[in-house]
Structure 1
Amino acid sequence: MLQDADVSNADRLRKLFHNEEKRMKFRYTMVAAALCTALAAASGVAHAQTIRVANQGDALSLDPHSLNESLQLSVTGNVYEPLVGRGKDLSLSPALATAWKQTSPTVWRFELRKGVTFHDGSPFTADDVVFSFGRAAGDGSDMRSYTNDIKEVRKIDAHTVEIETKAPFPILPDVISLVYIMSKKWCEENQALKPVDRRKGVENAASFRANGTGPFRVRERQPNVRTVFARHGGYWGPIESNATEIVFTPIGNDATRVAALLSGEIDVMEPIPVQDIARVNAGANTRAVTGPELRTIFLGMDQKRDELLYSNVKGKNPFKDKRVRQAFYQAIDIEGIKRVVMRGASNPTALLVGPGINGFLPEQNKRLPYDPEAAKKLLAEAGYPNGFEVTMNCPNDRYVNDGQICEAVAANLSRVGVKINLQAETKGTYFPKVLRRDTSFYMLGWTPGTYDAHNALNALVRCVDDKGSGQFNLGSYCNPKVDELTMKIQSETDKAKRAAMIKEAFDLHAADIGHLPLHQQSLAWGVSKKVKLVQLADNFMPFKWMSITN
């Protein structure tokens, strides 16, 4: 349990670093004090086999079905496992299933790994698989976009299950690679039968404790302070790591996080602020590990309500008018954001998927031109010659320079007469708000968990239903023709036909200005020269591939 002293220290330090520009004089003198709270316990146990990892935010829960967010799934993916996992090249690899095959166009059979136990020692069986898929598809789950086209998961015997889909689904193994398996017995005993609903703020035992089959188990959990992972001695497979424990610490302040790496207080950090990459590379004992990321950052707009929740326009919804959506698009100086905010570490995009995702076509990736005058004309034609006001919701600790990007967008839109009331906040309050669609204009980032365009179409573009279709289509964009194509893409096995349908779906979405794509951000991890690790383009950080030398 968090001590009172720790709470007070954390509060005091957050206040000190709340506005770095105003308090630059504290940047270095207070680093040691800032780390006192975040890393005190870590320093007491630090040794050659302890790896200390810091991130700008924390996993909001240990429940693997509660939030479909990369950091959440990366952290819990060290504790829980899917049936089908990913290798170092992101190709499919056996995890809790050793083999899988289609027995009919709509049925997949999975042979489960024998001799696997959960961290509490209980055996892993088909009952846990059936339970976990039901839990992931149920109320409160944030993972339903991965299960919405599954008709039934059934037990054949103790180590065999079948998954039947509503229609032929040749990429099912890719789709379920982020559906983590929980212990049915543990969930029953701990009243955690349903996942935590982040929209409602509901918590249960699975929020703070975990019982998976993965290579690391949770030994200590202090939300927003630190989480300690211990090596699971009974793991079913080899662990390519010499770490006996991983200490994960959220350090929200960029300056503090970088200083902690440079001083050796932590061994790995993510992300490096783009302006500090050269400094980390120049450190005597540190290096920056960089690379392209599969995530696309975009903006969404409420296109369903007859009147926006947060706007001075009454009696109608400006975003239902394509001309307004296009005006917003053309008012955004994406090259300016790349140059000034991202310091060149981004790739502007016209699509919701980028390079590395199956279905991405470079020739399709052509943005509408940045043209403020054209934007003003479109707004006037739509009946808003003087613009209007609208609130924009953004996180400020989830994506690279997310708060600054939103500030730049607000400034761009002000030049065409749109007043943005920017509400930037920590992801702990941001995600519950936007996930319940309590927003008019918002930022989101998306990495297709299947590394296939179907995932983005199904989760972000498809018309919203109560089964998980369009679960993250938070502005409720809807085009029945796109939906029809998405269903065909799901079932099509001919690669050329499938690629043509993906292209058509994205062409329709682009013509509608369904969302406002911004860019793919770049990965930048700060790493001690003593640490060896694997950087994946999905920004997951598997501890099992992380080692440290003396």
Structure 2
Amino acid sequence: MAFKLNPLVATLAAALALSAVSASAVTLRVGNQGDALSMDPHSLNESLQISVVENVYETLVTRDANFKLAPLLATSWKQTAPTVWRFELRKGVKFHDGTPFTADDVIFSYERAKGDGSDMKSYVGQFKEIKKINDHTIDIITNAPFPIVPELITHWAIMSKKWCEDNQATKPVDRRKGIENAASFRANGTGPFRVRERQPTVRTTFSRNGNYWGKIPGNVDEVIFSVIGNDATRVAAMMSGELDVMEPVPVQDVERLKANDKLKVLQGPELRAIFLGMDQKRDELLFSNVKGKNPFKDIRVRKAFYQAIDIETIKSRVMRGAATPLALMYPPQVNGYPADLAKRLPFDVEASKKLLAEAGYPNGFEVKMNCPNDRYVNDAEICQAVAANLAKVGVKINLEAETKGTYFPKILSRNTSFYMLGWTASTVDAHNVMYPILSTPGDGGRGQFNLGSYSNPKVDELTDKVASETDQKKRNEMIREAMKIHQDDVGHLPLHQQALNWAAKKNIELVQFPDNGMAWKFITVK
């Protein structure tokens, strides 16, 4: 049976063809449901954004094809004192504009990442200062002993001091305020790919960096990254051969793509927890019919919401089995996972109703729920299911699902009462959840993504102790204690760990990282 190309796919095909560099260039055509919202690597701590821009910008330390720590812009590192890490920087590296990479760029990038507008503060917030020893040696000095500094900085990108100064981009683009600058649309990294043409929310074209300092294992000369928000259109483009790689594969289409003898589907657990957060700070919610008080300050209400969610039905019907329900804020693959706390509160409609009545809401109440519709796997559908679940206990959810381009600025400025968020522990360690997500919001990126401002002083204290503890047994005990406190507080509502589903042509060799990162330098088109 012949496959009929629909008009939207035909339009995409024409656009992709126009973007080709030459007949001999090896082109990789990638389709995604969303876009990197900026080319500024310090502007948004979001996995797709990081995945895209890290092909252009580089970090001191990276993950290799086996997801193990590996040198990148730093050739080596060692702890010279309890609070001092010395990094030897790679010599002979140049930014795309030809400017040499030196220690000054690292120090500039540190100041930029910790400054106003940065969404990457939690990666450098543990640092007291960075000292320049010479042009290719620095010392990172931490506020307290911090044994996982190399793991922490695998997503802290280094920018050119000179380029940022010349282009009035010394401060990051603040996604909360909608401010843009030169770094939003152009880029000057040290990475294996350069930005050639940027059309936000439509398509961005990247070219191989012919002057790259290192060896690029793959053979891709250019990458055309296309945004195809409609699932059916994206799948049709993959099925017709107009795309080489796509992610995510809609869970309902996995088997259909697997059945295509020209395609393969790459699957695996992602290090991401999907959860719901609630404003627990304001005395009155911004978006609720309850006036004069905040229902989410009452643990009985938070627990009622938790027990109203039918997570198994969400898993089977919404996620088609491509999810693992969670009782904690990170999955078992993350260091410091307390397996004995892995049991969720039971789904119990009657218990939920009773809790709401005890809290003074026998007939429930109304609240707005903010949700993205193009960021996580079936995100809007999950929120719709949660809304339907809560309706059964008398809670009316006014669901506002929108593109992440407007969603993230809204919730990152805490302009929300009830929201969805996904979080990947980029260090593969529990501290990378405790510090940015569970800690009371404060300086240095502490609690930067704790958007409902959950707060428990004991969790904050344990977070600080976990950061500097080197005895793994003691450290795990402290992590467990903090997780138990947060769990008993019902600080957030954990939902599930989503599965990774990518599709690729069978002639494409690529590496699927568990944090959903896609490094184009590892891709080979046969």
TM-score between the two structures when normalised by the length of structure 2: 0.98
Which residue does 2:114 correspond to in 1?
A: 137
CA displacement at 1:47 relative to structure 2: 5.6
Equivalent residues in 2 for 1:483-502, closer than 5 Å: 483-502=460-479
Which residue does 1:352 correspond to in 2?
A: 329
Give yes or no for the alignment of 1:57 onto 2:57: no
SS of residue paired to 2:196: strand
Which residue does 2:257 correspond to in 1?
A: 280
Structure 2 CA distance for aligned equivalents of residues 466 and 37 of structure 1: 49
Which of 96, 107, 118 is the matching residue for 2:84? Answer: 107
SS of residue paired to 2:157: coil
Task: Supply the AA of the counterpart residue of 1:211.
Answer: N
Deviations along 1:31-53, one digit per CA (max 9) or x if unpaired, are 43452575353468576610101
SS of residue paired to 1:218: strand
Give yes or no for the alignment of 1:544 onto 2:526: no
Unmatched runs of 5 consecutive residues or more in structure 2: none
Structure 2 CA distance for aligned equivalents of residues 44 and 533 of structure 1: 22
SS of residue paired to 1:111: strand
Which residue does 1:524 correspond to in 2?
A: 501
Structure 2 CA distance for aligned equivalents of residues 420 and 52 of structure 1: 39
Give yes or no for the alignment of 1:433 onto 2:410: yes
Deviations along 1:489-527, one digit per CA (max 9) or x if unpaired, are 000000000000000000000000000000000000010
Which of 187, 199, 209 is the matching residue for 1:210? Answer: 187
Task: Supply the AA of the counterpart residue of 1:414.
Answer: A
The question of whether the paired residues in 2 share the 8 Å contact of 1:64 and 1:80 is answered with: yes
The question of whether the paired residues in 1 share the 8 Å contact of 2:146 and 2:468 is answered with: yes
Which residue does 1:451 correspond to in 2?
A: 428
Which of 199, 202, 206 is the matching residue for 1:222? Answer: 199
Which residue does 2:50 correspond to in 1?
A: 73
Which residue does 1:305 correspond to in 2?
A: 282
Which residue does 1:338 correspond to in 2?
A: 315
Structure 2 CA distance for aligned equivalents of residues 48 and 537 of structure 1: 30
Structure 2 CA distance for aligned equivalents of residues 347 and 361 of structure 1: 16
Task: Supply the AA of the counterpart residue of 1:374.
Answer: A
Moved more, 403-412 or 465-474: 465-474
Which of 99, 105, 116 is the matching residue for 1:128? Answer: 105
Task: Supply the AA of the counterpart residue of 1:243.
Answer: V
SS of residue paired to 2:125: coil
Which residue does 2:232 correspond to in 1?
A: 255
Which of 199, 205, 217 is the matching residue for 1:240? Answer: 217
Give yes or no for the alignment of 1:374 onto 2:351: yes
Structure 1 CA distance for aligned equivalents of residues 448 and 25 of structure 2: 44
Structure 2 CA distance for aligned equivalents of residues 478 and 143 of structure 1: 21
Structure 1 CA distance for aligned equivalents of residues 421 and 15 of structure 2: 28
Task: Supply the AA of the counterpart residue of 1:376.
Answer: K
Which residue does 1:469 correspond to in 2?
A: 446
SS of residue paired to 1:52: strand
The question of whether the paired residues in 1 share the 8 Å contact of 2:220 and 2:523 is answered with: yes
The question of whether the paired residues in 2 share the 8 Å contact of 1:38 and 1:251 is answered with: no
SS of residue paired to 1:467: helix
**Structure 1 residues 46 and 459, CA, compared in 2 at 3 Å: closer, same or farther?**
farther
Task: Supply the AA of the counterpart residue of 2:241.
Answer: G
Which residue does 1:22 correspond to in 2?
A: none
Structure 1 CA distance for aligned equivalents of residues 29 and 151 of structure 2: 31
Which residue does 2:302 correspond to in 1?
A: 325
Structure 1 CA distance for aligned equivalents of residues 504 and 338 of structure 2: 33
The question of whether the paired residues in 2 share the 8 Å contact of 1:34 and 1:256 is answered with: no
Structure 2 CA distance for aligned equivalents of residues 321 and 140 of structure 1: 33
Moved more, 424-433 or 28-37: 28-37
Moved more, 277-286 or 206-215: 277-286
Equivalent residues in 2 for 1:153-232, closer than 5 Å: 153-232=130-209
The question of whether the paired residues in 1 share the 8 Å contact of 2:13 and 2:242 is answered with: no
**Structure 1 residues 208 and 446, CA, compared in 2 at 3 Å: closer, same or farther?**
same
Give yes or no for the alignment of 1:384 onto 2:357: no
Structure 1 CA distance for aligned equivalents of residues 394 and 509 of structure 2: 51
Moved more, 354-363 or 69-78: 354-363
Deviations along 1:139-163, one digit per CA (max 9) or x if unpaired, are 0000001111211011110000111
Deviations along 1:252-291, one digit per CA (max 9) or x if unpaired, are 0000101101111010000000010111111131111111
Which residue does 1:24 correspond to in 2?
A: none
SS of residue paired to 2:59: coil
Unmatched runs of 5 consecutive residues or more in structure 1: 1-26
Structure 2 CA distance for aligned equivalents of residues 523 and 34 of structure 1: 28
Structure 2 CA distance for aligned equivalents of residues 410 and 39 of structure 1: 39
Task: Supply the AA of the counterpart residue of 2:479.
Answer: I
Structure 1 CA distance for aligned equivalents of residues 372 and 445 of structure 2: 23
Structure 1 CA distance for aligned equivalents of residues 354 and 172 of structure 2: 48
The question of whether the paired residues in 2 share the 8 Å contact of 1:291 and 1:522 is answered with: yes
The question of whether the paired residues in 1 share the 8 Å contact of 2:269 and 2:498 is answered with: yes
CA displacement at 1:91 relative to structure 2: 1.6
Considering only aligned residues, what root-mean-square deviation do their CA atoms show, in Å? 1.4
Moved more, 505-514 or 169-178: 169-178
SS of residue paired to 1:338: helix
CA displacement at 1:396 relative to structure 2: 0.2
The question of whether the paired residues in 1 share the 8 Å contact of 2:116 and 2:172 is answered with: yes
Deviations along 1:178-201, one digit per CA (max 9) or x if unpaired, are 100000000000000000000000
Deviations along 1:125-176, one digit per CA (max 9) or x if unpaired, are 0000000011000000000011112110111100001111111111111111
Task: Supply the AA of the counterpart residue of 1:314.
Answer: K
Moved over 6 A (4+): none
SS of residue paired to 1:53: strand
SS of residue paired to 2:128: strand
Which residue does 1:15 correspond to in 2?
A: none
Structure 2 CA distance for aligned equivalents of residues 236 and 37 of structure 1: 34
Give yes or no for the alignment of 1:152 onto 2:152: no
Identity among equivalent pairs (%): 67
CA displacement at 1:177 relative to structure 2: 1.1
Structure 2 CA distance for aligned equivalents of residues 319 and 196 of structure 1: 32
TM-score between the two structures when normalised by the length of structure 1: 0.94
The question of whether the paired residues in 2 share the 8 Å contact of 1:351 and 1:365 is answered with: yes
Structure 1 CA distance for aligned equivalents of residues 340 and 18 of structure 2: 52
Structure 2 CA distance for aligned equivalents of residues 369 and 208 of structure 1: 47
The question of whether the paired residues in 2 share the 8 Å contact of 1:31 and 1:259 is answered with: no
The question of whether the paired residues in 1 share the 8 Å contact of 2:25 and 2:221 is answered with: no
CA displacement at 1:28 relative to structure 2: 5.7
